[in-house]
Amino acid sequence: MSIATINPAIGETEKEFEAHDAPEVERRVALANRPTRRPTSRGRSFAP
């Protein structure tokens, strides 16, 4: 199954993409949910 981006003004297909299977979706979701390695500003004050 492919997913298409269609320009609504002219009805032309801009690009087609292949859908990911379930294991690939799970892998990408897990990757997106993992903690980052860089420190965040949460809990820090920027006030002098």
14 contacts 7 by C-beta, under 8 angstroms? yes
pLDDT of residue 38: 65
pLDDT of residue 47: 65
Instruction: Give the domain extent around 7.
Output: 2-29
pLDDT of residue 35: 77
Amino acid in the structure at residue 44: R
> What's the average pLDDT block by block, 10 residues per block, for the chain (48 residues)?
93 95 95 76 64
CA-angle at 15, arms to 4 and 5, nearest 5°: 40
Q: Which residue has the tokens 């087609």?
A: 16
pLDDT of residue 34: 84
Count of the separate structural domains present in the chain: 1
pLDDT of residue 25: 95
Helices (H), 1-48: 22-33
Examine residue 46 and state whether it is found in any structural domain, yes or no: no
CA distance 45 to 43: 7
Examine residue 9 and state whether it is found in any structural domain, yes or no: yes
Examine residue 48 and state whether it is found in any structural domain, yes or no: no
pLDDT of residue 40: 62
